[in-house]
Amino acid sequence: MAKFAVITVSDTRTLLTDSGGEYLITTLVKAGHHMVVRHIVKDDANQIAAAFTNCDAQALDLILVTGGTGIALRDVTIEALLPRLAKTIPGFGEYFRRLSLEAVGLKALASRAEAGVSPHNHLTYLLPGSPNACQTALEQIILPDLSHLLKELTKNVHPS
């Protein structure tokens, strides 16, 4: 069981209209994981960074950030959070765009989805805000590899 946080980045979403974030939460909970914290913040680098710092300070395994990963002027999630990651996992973004290319065509190339490890060793995913993109990422990449990556993160933390 993983403990997780969801941060939704949007100028328009609320708890009632955050379908991407709700999908992530519902699916992870159904898979036996536990949500610890949820934030909805504006497309503002300072708000995004503050929510991430709050989540990173919690006892978590996983942080999912949805929204703000495109190329529009207001899309600043990558700029706000990529420098804060201790390590990146380039293969995630590459594979996500490959899967998305099959689903939505060349529009997938505008996605700047990323993954990495937070300063406090939490697996972190920076995802597009659309429910379809969240579904692709969660069902085809994140959940199938979650236990392996969490095991890797704790390898050698407590040497014998």
- For 17, the domain range is 3-153
pLDDT at 158 over 90: no
Is 116 contained in some domain? yes
Give the pLDDT confidence of 18-56 residue by residue, as tens digits: 999 999 999 999 999 999 999 999 999 999 999 999 999
Is 159 contained in some domain? no
Task: Look up the CATH number of the domain holding residue 134.
Answer: 3.40.980.10
Q: Are strands 114-117 and 3-9 parallel, antiparallel or unpaired?
A: unpaired
Cα 74–Cα 40–Cα 52 angle in degrees, nearest 5: 85
Nearest alpha-carbon partner for 61 in 96, 28, 23, 88: 28
Give the pLDDT confidence of 60-80 residue by residue, as tens digits: 999 999 999 999 999 999 999
Percent of the chain with pLDDT over 70: 98
**What pLDDT score was predicted for residue 138?**
97
In the chain, the number of structural domains is 1
